[in-house]
Structure 1
Amino acid sequence: MSEHTFTQRIVITGVGLTAPGSSNLTEFRANLLAGISGISTIDLRYMGVHPAGLCQFEETRYRKKRENKRGTRAGCIGVYCANEALVDAGIDFSTYDRAATGVYIGLTEHGTVETENEVYNISQYDYNVDYWTHHHNPRTVLNNPAGEISMNLQLTGPHYSIGAACAAGNAALIQGVQMLRLGEVELALCGGVSECVGSFGIFASFQAQGALAAHSEPARASRPFDRDRNGIVISEGGCVFVLERLDRALARNAAIYGEITGYAMNSDARDFVLPYGPRQQQCMEAALKKAGRMPADITIINAHATGTKQGDVEECKAIRAVFSDCPATWINNTKSVIGHAMGAAGVLELAGNLPAFTDHLVHPTINLDNLDPDCTLPNLVTNTPVELERVDTILNNSFGMLGINSAVIVERCVVC
């Protein structure tokens, strides 16, 4: 394998997504710029009504109702997003080999929804396991969403899921870049999926931690950086990117959203749930180094901030430490609009910012009425968009439980 392979430029040429309040990138971007929340409510088994981000999309556009019923909600979301991404990229596999196409999907968790539903089902029959579905195992294996995508699209290259807590979407994106540069695949479908609104256990766990958001107005429940924030709004969603080597994309005259130039992942190695700013700082610095960029080169930082006190504060400390003298760097947050989509969070939030390369707008953080003094950041965009002369570089933060951190840098693609 030549050294040139490892330095290949990797670009994003397709985006398919569903998020609370939108089922494609155009709708998603419009909602972000207008500050229109996608948060509503869900009536949970055992727990009652809570704010949540729910997705509405055409579930039978790419496979039949019978197939969706046999599969999983995560698989349904994944199949929709992957197909939408390929359509957006203009790929019909006349120029790419299905056997050389990889599918890499990030997950925070998988199988919880199916297991809870099956336990509830057999409880109606005095816990007789004869009523347990024979579909349970293929539904709950970790590679399920990636596998459902590969079956639907008849892709015979590698498929697998990447468990990286709430950094999983970024982790899958990084995996796709690496596999393309290694020459293991010619085309990569990378992204993340979350079906966690179907699990009362996830809501109950956050509530037990004192980290589940509550608000009389659901649309105002997700409040990162706000003094009155009280936790996470749990959301479902998905986003899949088409990644290609630049030379292949140019050869077929593909439209290019951006070029992935830097990334990093590291670990806090400290606590099960509590984040640690100094390690997040090191992660951002490592991504900048890989991209060959200085902090002042970054135009937009999409902050991970979930609406928990320590999480928001630790990230703000890290951002201030790296970007303390960067007057042309602007900061926003996407979870204020769509909640926390867990394994899909990183890629959805990156997707929502990609159009800034062409419209030059930094979408706002909404619901920020009373800034927590510990979350003070230079150029934090609040409540209304900011228009810039140009946007060249986006840094996307995504952090998760067990202390896993990720940062991805995407730049306006310039072809010399």
Structure 2
Amino acid sequence: MMPDSQRIVITGVGLAAPGGASTLAEFRAQVLAGRSGISTLEMRYMGVHPAGLCDFPETKYRKKRDNKRGTRAGCLGVYCAGEALAESGIDFTQYRLDRTGVYMGLTEHGTVETENEVYNISQYNYNVDYWTHHHNPRTVLNNPAGEITMTFGITGPHYSVGAACAAGNAALIQGCQMLRLGEVDVALCGGLSECTGSFGIFASFRAQGALAEHADPTKASRPFDQARNGIVISEGGCVFTLERLDKAQARGAKIYGEIVGYAMNSDARDFVLPYGPRQAECIRLALDRAGMTPADIDLVNTHATGTKQGDIEECRAIAEVFAGCENLRVNNTKSIIGHAMGAAGVLELAANLPAFEDGLAHPTINLDELDPECALPGLVSGEAQKLPRAETILNNSFGMVGINSTLIVKRLVAK
């Protein structure tokens, strides 16, 4: 068994989720109830569309003027990181600020800020004299992670991990690796999305035929359903505090779970079309690194976004890997909160992490007519369901340009 100094555990969770949840307890109550976090947004040039929007105390950790100078992703990141630190009980008497790392997953960054500036100068006949001097520091990729370090005085390494919609998982993997290498002693890891601020992201998904539409926005996000017609774009953020097990136990920290396995790979095939066989390989590699078999997994949280082929490819991968695993349960969080892009994987993990305590799998909602090609055994629909066993969670996150990630978290058993 791996020594405790190499075992990585989650000791804090901070989040802002579509629908107004700004604590883990609120978010867990929302997903267990199957209460949609989707409303509507009137977007420049695009009209009104379903979207997932967050409501959280934006000035809890920094002043309004700092939020205005920074970015929406930075604002989300600062709040979530502050909550993760507070939840973990870290006050930097046991740890050093220069031995703390900040790793944030992003699908993209700078699109919102650039669109806003182009629109701004359009009001002045495109005179670039009206272009803000804040643009460059707002649009560098490390901006949200850097805003976190400036707010909390963290002087260790910070950077963003660009991995499309697998970025949240990728940032957690990065944090685990840096802790195991001894580069840092605490890692703030997570994912952020400010995508609801960009008309271009909405327009591009619509051009691909992948932007969800429904008369009732709460029913627009419907992975696995026969009537699904695309993605609901959401903003959001989630940050985890990661530590080595021995240090966390020595200071008496609450431990949410242990990260025991992870994997990333590439389809190497297409810009947007996912590929189930590579996803299956990614899942198997994570299981192998965790020293587990498919029968050891109790709950799979799917990436499924509500696109026709994307859902089918992942379902094929899961059905292949977990064939014969009768006690497995499968759910989908995007049906409730939409697709929070860089924050998707970590928000979805947070939604399911309390299953170690309450033993429940939250439901997949809006599943009125199951697509036969998505008919996974153990798919939890409609209402929350008691898990036969609640020891392990496997979290999938996949992204454009063929990037796949799988993360496995295990309930820590007291010695």
Q: Secondary structure at the match of 2:326?
A: coil
1:45 is aligned to 44
Give the letter aligned to residue 397 of structure 1: N
- In 2 relative to 1, CA 4–412 (structure 1 residues): closer, same or farther, beyond 3 Å? closer
1:15 is aligned to 13
Q: Is the Cα contact below 8 Å between 2:97 and 2:155 reproduced in 1?
A: yes
1:329 is aligned to 328
Q: Secondary structure at the match of 1:157?
A: coil
Q: Secondary structure at the match of 1:110?
A: coil
Q: Is the Cα contact below 8 Å between 1:5 and 1:181 reproduced in 2?
A: no
- Asked if 1:362 corresponds to 2:343, the answer is no
Q: Is the Cα contact below 8 Å between 2:209 and 2:230 reproduced in 1?
A: yes
Give the letter aligned to residue 8 of structure 2: I
2:256 is aligned to 257
1:274 is aligned to 273
1:193 is aligned to 192
Give the letter aligned to residue 347 of structure 1: V
Give percent identity, aligned residues only. 74
Displacement, 1:182?
0.1
Displacement, 1:210?
0.1
Displacement, 1:316?
0.2
Displacement, 1:415?
3.7
Instruction: Please give the alpha-carbon distance, in whole angstroms, between the structure 2 residues aligned to 1:218 and 1:141.
Output: 33
1:220-267 Cα shifts (integer Å, max 9, x gaps):
000000000000000000000000000000001000000000000000
Displacement, 1:414?
1.8
1:209 is aligned to 208
- In 2 relative to 1, CA 280–185 (structure 1 residues): closer, same or farther, beyond 3 Å? same
Q: Between Structure 1 and Structure 2, how many residues are aligned?
A: 414
Q: What are the within-5 Å matches in structure 2 for residues 123-134 of structure 1?
A: 123-134=122-133
1:133-167 Cα shifts (integer Å, max 9, x gaps):
00000000000000000000100000000000000
- In 2 relative to 1, CA 389–309 (structure 1 residues): closer, same or farther, beyond 3 Å? closer
Instruction: Please give the alpha-carbon distance, in whole angstroms, between the structure 2 residues aligned to 1:222 and 1:169.
Output: 20
Instruction: Please give the alpha-carbon distance, in whole angstroms, between the structure 2 residues aligned to 1:389 and 1:412.
Output: 15
Instruction: Please give the alpha-carbon distance, in whole angstroms, between the structure 1 residues aligned to 2:135 and 2:244.
Output: 38
Displacement, 1:20?
0.5
Bigger mean CA offset, 7-16 vs 39-48: 7-16
Instruction: Please give the alpha-carbon distance, in whole angstroms, between the structure 2 residues aligned to 1:4 and 1:266.
Output: 24
Displacement, 1:321?
0.5
Give the letter aligned to residue 150 of structure 1: T
Q: What are the within-5 Å matches in structure 2 for residues 303-342 of structure 1?
A: 303-342=302-341
Instruction: Please give the alpha-carbon distance, in whole angstroms, between the structure 2 residues aligned to 1:31 and 1:4.
Output: 36
Q: Secondary structure at the match of 2:6?
A: coil
Q: Is the Cα contact below 8 Å between 2:38 and 2:51 reproduced in 1?
A: yes
2:371 is aligned to 372
Q: Secondary structure at the match of 1:74?
A: helix
Q: Is the Cα contact below 8 Å between 2:169 and 2:190 reproduced in 1?
A: yes
Q: Is the Cα contact below 8 Å between 1:6 and 1:181 reproduced in 2?
A: no
Give the letter aligned to residue 243 of structure 1: L
Give the letter aligned to residue 187 of structure 1: V
Instruction: Please give the alpha-carbon distance, in whole angstroms, between the structure 1 residues aligned to 2:144 and 2:65.
Output: 16
TM-score (norm 1): 0.98
Q: Is the Cα contact below 8 Å between 1:332 and 1:365 reproduced in 2?
A: yes
Q: What are the within-5 Å matches in structure 2 for residues 17-96 of structure 1?
A: 17-21=15-19, 22-96=21-95
1:15-57 Cα shifts (integer Å, max 9, x gaps):
0000011111111100100000000000000010000000000
Displacement, 1:298?
0.2
1:151 is aligned to 150
- Aligned-residue CA RMSD (Å): 1.1
The runs of at least 4 aligned residues of structure 1 exceeding 3 Å deviation read 3-7
Instruction: Please give the alpha-carbon distance, in whole angstroms, between the structure 1 residues aligned to 2:2 and 2:299.
Output: 30
Q: What runs of 5+ residues in structure 1 fail to find an aligned partner?
A: none
- In 2 relative to 1, CA 343–187 (structure 1 residues): closer, same or farther, beyond 3 Å? same
- In 2 relative to 1, CA 263–237 (structure 1 residues): closer, same or farther, beyond 3 Å? same
Q: What runs of 5+ residues in structure 2 fail to find an aligned partner?
A: none
TM-score (norm 2): 0.99
Instruction: Please give the alpha-carbon distance, in whole angstroms, between the structure 1 residues aligned to 2:284 and 2:403.
Output: 15
Instruction: Please give the alpha-carbon distance, in whole angstroms, between the structure 2 residues aligned to 1:390 and 1:277.
Output: 27
Bigger mean CA offset, 114-123 vs 88-97: 88-97
Instruction: Please give the alpha-carbon distance, in whole angstroms, between the structure 2 residues aligned to 1:160 and 1:377.
Output: 38
- Asked if 1:224 corresponds to 2:223, the answer is yes
Instruction: Please give the alpha-carbon distance, in whole angstroms, between the structure 1 residues aligned to 2:190 and 2:367.
Output: 29
Displacement, 1:6?
10
Instruction: Please give the alpha-carbon distance, in whole angstroms, between the structure 1 residues aligned to 2:408 and 2:102.
Output: 21
- Asked if 1:405 corresponds to 2:395, the answer is no
Instruction: Please give the alpha-carbon distance, in whole angstroms, between the structure 2 residues aligned to 1:23 and 1:294.
Output: 35
Q: Is the Cα contact below 8 Å between 1:5 and 1:182 reproduced in 2?
A: no
1:109 is aligned to 108
Q: Secondary structure at the match of 1:93?
A: coil
Displacement, 1:63?
0.2
1:99 is aligned to 98
Instruction: Please give the alpha-carbon distance, in whole angstroms, between the structure 2 residues aligned to 1:47 and 1:388.
Output: 42
Displacement, 1:4?
7.4
Give the letter aligned to residue 305 of structure 1: A
Displacement, 1:388?
2.5
1:99-124 Cα shifts (integer Å, max 9, x gaps):
00000000000000000000000000
Give the letter aligned to residue 11 of structure 2: T
Instruction: Please give the alpha-carbon distance, in whole angstroms, between the structure 2 residues aligned to 1:274 and 1:6.
Output: 40
Q: Secondary structure at the match of 1:409?
A: strand
Instruction: Please give the alpha-carbon distance, in whole angstroms, between the structure 1 residues aligned to 2:387 and 2:207.
Output: 43
Q: Is the Cα contact below 8 Å between 2:4 and 2:245 reproduced in 1?
A: no
Q: Secondary structure at the match of 1:68?
A: helix
Q: Secondary structure at the match of 2:51?
A: strand
- In 2 relative to 1, CA 94–288 (structure 1 residues): closer, same or farther, beyond 3 Å? same
